[in-house]
Amino acid sequence: MKIAALVSGGVDSSVALHEALSSGVGDVTAFYLKVWLEDELESIGECPWEEDLAYVRQVCEKLDVPVEVVPLQLEYYERVVSYALSELREGRTPSPDIFCNQRIKFGAFYEYLGDDYDRIATGHYARVDHSGDLAVLKRGVDPVKDQTYFLSHLTQEQLSRAWFPVGAMDKNEVRARAREIDLPNKDRKDSQGICFLGQVRYPEFIRHYLGEREGRIVERETGRHLGTHRGFWFYTIGQRQGLGLGGGPWYVVDKDTERNEILVSHRENAGEASRRSFTLAKLHWIAGPPARDRLSVRIRHGPDLVPCRVEPAAGAGKAASAAGDTLRVEMDRADRGVAPGQFGVLYDGEVCLGAGMILD
């Protein structure tokens, strides 16, 4: 086999590269995707792509693997950043890392490689079962690090060539392996936040592109004016940090985009805004729609899987739902952070079935 290993300079992808090499299944070449928007963002923060690339080169030299840098800044802006900005303008909560995987790492990069490589190895905490007619995406064994939420939009064509060498390891094992083989980045801290921002804070990124527009913060129950904010696009449903209100905690429970108002509730009343049900649209199934209606759902990245029941949304028959239209999700417990624009990712046990965008 010919294996293309995506490396970022972090520990996870470096250990994945080592595991791909150690497997002996084929020839391995490392690739670094340059998607940092350093020209756009240099005025608002540090974009450490040069530091990342330096670590990549040190790791590849240590492991004696050739490395190639692939510039995909334009593709990244057109396929990921523009989507995120459009969703923010509409008052929704985007999930750019989902499309970073589907449209860039397993999209534009696949296009760049063509048919020259049999497998693409990455440092994602997930697993792929290639034993059947269809590739099946399974959760990583580390419940905290599991990244199937961000991989939920991969197609069969993309998943059939994907390989996640650290998916059967937990984070402590990955760190231990890095130290065991003395990787140059064995003690490097994990990156946080959205994949293209690096050390740029997300609010600064939003301000750079969308600016600020002062608006009112209003108590939902009384209509009382509590304070001001810098623009509804800085806030998401369920948020409690960054509101600048005393006597809290306060939670964002809704947004009025036409009036540029943020509606909040105090903790005593926030539970009333919690949701047990929502509608998913633009459904994407990795290996076909679910065979049963009792599943689990994840509405944000993290270890929390909520048991749920799914059914075709009102007005859409089963055939329409299976074809990718709409699905109603009823969770076993309520959540105050259900936000339009986010993705609900559905699971049947260990298997990640796919996802849909939350409408309401």
Based on the fold, state whether residues 163 and 133 are members of the same structural domain.
yes
Q: How many domains is the chain partitioned into structurally?
A: 3
Of 221, 256, 271, the domain-final residue: 271
Q: How confident is the model at residue 269 (pLDDT cuts 50, 70, 90)?
A: confident
pLDDT of residue 38: 57
Of 128, 156, 180, the domain-final residue: 180
pLDDT of residue 134: 96
Domain membership of residue 241 (yes or no) is: yes
d(CA 289, CA 297): 14
Based on the fold, state whether residues 304 and 318 are members of the same structural domain.
yes
Based on the fold, state whether residues 69 and 102 are members of the same structural domain.
yes
Written as six digits, the tokens of 287 are: 């290996």
Based on the fold, state whether residues 170 and 258 are members of the same structural domain.
no
- For strands 67-71 and 27-34, give the pairing: parallel
Domain membership of residue 193 (yes or no) is: no
For the domain that residue 253 is a member of, what is the CATH number? 2.30.30.280
Q: Please tell me the pTM assigned to this model.
A: 0.88
Based on the fold, state whether residues 53 and 173 are members of the same structural domain.
yes
Q: How confident is the model at residue 89 (pLDDT cuts 50, 70, 90)?
A: very high
List, in order, residues 6 or more apart from 360 with CB less than 8 Å away: 278, 279, 340
Based on the fold, state whether residues 17 and 148 are members of the same structural domain.
yes
Based on the fold, state whether residues 350 and 251 are members of the same structural domain.
no
Domain membership of residue 25 (yes or no) is: yes
Of 256, 271, 286, the domain-final residue: 271
The mean pLDDT of 80-94, rounded to a whole number, is 91
Domain membership of residue 248 (yes or no) is: yes
Please state, rounded to an integer, the average pLDDT across all residues of the chain. 89
Query: Is the predicted pLDDT of residue 23 greater than 70, yes or no?
Result: yes
Secondary structure (DSSP) of 271-335: GGG-EEEEEEEEEEESSSS-SSSEEEEESSSSS--EEEEEEEPTT--HHHHHTTSEEEEEEEEEE
d(CA 168, CA 295): 23
Domain membership of residue 194 (yes or no) is: no
Domain membership of residue 69 (yes or no) is: yes
Q: How far apart are the first and last CA of the chain?
A: 46
d(CA 309, CA 280): 13
- Please write the tens of the pLDDT for every residue from 175-209: 999 999 999 999 998 876 555 555 567 788 888 88
Based on the fold, state whether residues 216 and 176 are members of the same structural domain.
no
Based on the fold, state whether residues 36 and 162 are members of the same structural domain.
yes
**257 alpha-carbon distance from chain centroid:** 25
**170: domain range?**
2-180
For the domain that residue 28 is a member of, what is the CATH number? 3.40.50.620
Is residue 236 within 8 A of residue 245, CB to CB? The reply is no
Based on the fold, state whether residues 299 and 230 are members of the same structural domain.
no
Based on the fold, state whether residues 166 and 313 are members of the same structural domain.
no
Q: What is the DSSP letter of 179?
A: H
**Positions marked catalytic:** 100, 195
Written as six digits, the tokens of 315 are: 């007005």
- Please write the tens of the pLDDT for every residue from 106-165: 999 999 999 999 999 999 999 999 999 999 999 999 999 999 999 999 999 999 999 999
Q: Which residue in 297, 333, 290 sits closest to 312, CA to CA?
A: 290
Q: How confident is the model at residue 230 (pLDDT cuts 50, 70, 90)?
A: very high
> Which is more confidently placed, 204 or 352?
352
d(CA 243, CA 245): 6
Q: Longest Cα pair distance anywhere in the chain, in angstroms?
A: 66
Query: Is the predicted pLDDT of residue 59 greater than 70, yes or no?
Result: yes
For the domain that residue 289 is a member of, what is the CATH number? 2.40.30.10
Query: Is the predicted pLDDT of residue 36 greater than 80, yes or no?
Result: no
- Please write the tens of the pLDDT for every residue from 310-319: 998 765 444 3
